[in-house]
Chain A
Amino acid sequence: MTATAPPQPRDPSRTRTSRAIRTGGGLSLRIEPRALLATLLLAVVALGMGVVLIGSGDFPMSPGDVVRTLLGNGTASQEFIVTELRMPRAVVALLVGAALGASGAVFQSISRNPLGSPDVIGFGQGATAGALTVIVLFKGDALAVTGGALVGCLLTGAAVYFLAWKRGVHGFRLVLVGIGAAAMLTAVNHYLITKASIVDATRATVWMTGSLDGRGWEQAWPLLGVCAVLIPLMLGHGRSLRMMEMGDDAAYALGVGVERVRLVLMLSAVLLIAVATAAAGPIAFVALSAPQLARRLTRSPGANLGASVCMGAALLVVADWIAQQGLGGTQMPVGVVTGVLGGCYLLWLLVAERKAGRI
């Protein structure tokens, strides 16, 4: 939208982006119609693509059949294919995408920098280092690899937080410390691969690409549990997070418990990214791009946590569908698709930022 003379007279209950809904009894909500619509639309796209994803494969099913089966009215074989084989993968895709979107939005908002997202500031590399250590040094099984990734990610998160911490985390410090950590961990990861046997190295490389192949309910349930607790918690702090984008002093002056909110949000975001990465490997660029795309779609200033969550889920489901179906018979790990899409997106973002004179 361009700047034009405001229409006169103004209706004070409406601003350009928001309007108020009030009920009797003093209840009042402030909503941004465009943001709400965009979020709902993204949620529908994510769930719809989830259904399409479940329907596609060697035994194709129409979305109608999938929904019927999900409601418990399918044949026994449909039931088996949907609930046992394909649904867990779709659920993992949705949840991993949602987790990446949420934690990306939080970190970008706290660092006030799109590059402050978890995959740039070393969390993915930290998880990889943990997973590779288990694969190469301990020859651990899949469960142990998941645990290794979880521990690696949490340790990296803690290290970056404490190194960047100086009277509150500052955006640039967080990004620079994170990029440093990412570089070091990448070196460690490469070293681990050179030490690995050929079998372990293959396993490690597959893990590092990020994939949803063969994900079952044993990955889906823990992920669902963590997301069900942390995502609502983060959404509940969304208003405070928006205040903090005006600077710590301004937020503090408005009565936001800046340090507490930041700690809660960062801790939740690191936990989310850790469980997501443990479940699917370090999937590139979703955490970086989902909040940015969500912001452009909602045209609402600041962190749009809800929209980012839905955008992340939609992105990952679409990417997984492309990974499975995009190249005819050839299947790809989903990390390859998000990497290629995200790379293009990052370039576009950098060009756009330069045009806007911010870089």
Chain B
Amino acid sequence: MTTEKNPRSMPVQCQRLSAESVTLAYDDRVIAEDLSVEIPDHSFTVIVGPNACGKSTLLRALSRMLKPSQGRVLLDGHAIGSMPAKKVAKTLGLLPQSSVAPDGITVADLVARGRYPHQGLLRQWSPQDERIVEESMRSTGVGELADRYVDELSGGQRQRVWIAMALAQQTPLLLLDEPTTFLDIQHQIDVLDLCAELHETRGRTLVAVLHDLNHAARYATHLIAMRDGEIVAQGPPAEVVTAELVERVFRLRCQVIDDPETGTPLVVPAARQARGRAVAAPATAAS
């Protein structure tokens, strides 16, 4: 069922990760007000929306990178901001949009850094750490690159290494901020396949911000569509992705057909001539 514009009317369940009427702002620039969202456990949730709709900001708040100016983000029933950093890091992982690989670091060493929250001064490298790092590299297909320098890798390989690092953290929840940006189409699909596999075979809860609506519709089990800092619709892609919704959220006229490969909704933008009127119509500018 499509919940329209009224996310708070959803039944309050005990989801592991949720935001309770948060106001999100950078200094005095308010991005979203009174926003509530729940991430269904064991879902692959994808947040979509036009540029500057607040989707990355919401993800930053969920991952405690951004402190809400009002309201709170709850992880397992506790306000995430007041939990010890290492404790959160054992439950919730994040793949940030931009990370810097230190000069001259090898793939194995970088992935090993994902074990940091599980380590201490006297427990720096247990056999378990070793096993998990190996396994993370294997499941992301970077095992053969283990001794290579990260600087030498292609963009797609590097993104896999970062995902391997996030996996080595072994968190039941994993947040990914635009994991496919800057990758070519083949690597985008690679990364998304990897995410789907993590979600399906290991029952992890994944939350990703994606730009491509068709990718989102194909891979997500739960879709959240945002515009101007508000959640316009959420639910399974087959129910959420409709021609009216795409027009409402992205201001784009389109047809929604069945993806011939997967049967999921596929958004086909209307031809230029057909959109002529839509463009001429007063498009509401994003705030």
> Residues on A close to B: CB < 8 A?
3, 6, 10, 12-13, 15-18, 20, 22, 26-30, 112, 236, 239, 242-243, 245-247, 249-250, 252-257, 299-302
Interface SS of chain A:
loop
Q: B124–A301 contact, CB under 8 A? A: no
Q: B117–A16 contact, CB under 8 A? A: no
Chain B residues with Cβ below 8 Å from A246 are 99-102, 113
Interface assignment of B215: CB less than 8 Å from any CB of chain A:
no
Q: B65–A30 contact, CB under 8 A? A: no
Option from B87, B89, B100, B127 in Cβ contact (under 8 Å) with A247: B100
In the complex the two chains form, what is the Cα distance from A62 to B67 in whole Å? Answer: 63
Chain B residues with Cβ below 8 Å from A13 are 130
Q: B88–A255 contact, CB under 8 A? A: yes
Interface assignment of B250: CB less than 8 Å from any CB of chain A:
no
In the complex the two chains form, what is the Cα distance from A112 to B243 in whole Å? Answer: 47
Chain A residues with Cβ below 8 Å from B127 are 22, 28
> Residues on B close to A: CB < 8 A?
63-65, 85-90, 93-106, 108-109, 112-114, 116-117, 121-127, 129-131, 133-134, 144, 146-149, 152, 166, 169
Known contacts A28-B123, A28-B126, A254-B117; is A10 also within 8 Å of B86 by CB?
no
Chain A residues with Cβ below 8 Å from B126 are 22, 26, 28
Task: Report the minimal beta-carbon distance from A292 to chain B, rounded to whole angstroms.
Answer: 11
Q: A28–B124 contact, CB under 8 A? A: yes
Q: B102–A245 contact, CB under 8 A? A: yes
In the complex the two chains form, what is the Cα distance from A191 to B114 in whole Å? Answer: 53
Please indicate which of the listed interface residues B86, B101, B116 has the most CB atoms of chain A within 10 Å of its own CB.
B116
Chain A residues with Cβ below 8 Å from B109 are 15-18, 301
Q: B99–A250 contact, CB under 8 A? A: yes
Q: A15–B116 contact, CB under 8 A? A: no
Option from A236, A247, A257, A299 in Cβ contact (under 8 Å) with B99: A247
Q: B96–A250 contact, CB under 8 A? A: yes
Task: Report the minimal beta-carbon distance from B228 to chain A, rounded to whole angstroms.
Answer: 24
Q: B96–A29 contact, CB under 8 A? A: no
In the complex the two chains form, what is the Cα distance from A22 to B128 in whole Å? Answer: 12
In the complex the two chains form, what is the Cα distance from A249 to B97 in whole Å? Answer: 9
Q: B117–A249 contact, CB under 8 A? A: no
Chain A residues with Cβ below 8 Å from B89 are 253-255
Q: A257–B85 contact, CB under 8 A? A: yes
Q: B102–A242 contact, CB under 8 A? A: yes
Q: B94–A253 contact, CB under 8 A? A: yes
Option from B117, B121, B122 in Cβ contact (under 8 Å) with A255: B117
Chain A residues with Cβ below 8 Å from B166 are 253
Task: Report the minimal beta-carbon distance from A322 to chain B, rounded to whole angstroms.
Answer: 31
Q: A249–B112 contact, CB under 8 A? A: no
What are 8 A-B contacts with C-beta separation under 8 Å?
A: A16-B106, A17-B109, A22-B127, A27-B123, A245-B102, A247-B100, A249-B65, A253-B65
Chain B residues with Cβ below 8 Å from A6 are 144, 146-148
In the complex the two chains form, what is the Cα distance from A257 to B123 in whole Å? Answer: 19
In the complex the two chains form, what is the Cα distance from A188 to B158 in whole Å? Answer: 49
In the complex the two chains form, what is the Cα distance from A30 to B115 in whole Å? Answer: 12
In the complex the two chains form, what is the Cα distance from A224 to B61 in whole Å? Answer: 45
Chain A residues with Cβ below 8 Å from B149 are 3
Option from B85, B101, B103, B112 in Cβ contact (under 8 Å) with A252: B85
Cβ-closest chain B residue relative to A255 = B89
Q: B100–A112 contact, CB under 8 A? A: yes
Chain B residues with Cβ below 8 Å from A243 are 113, 116
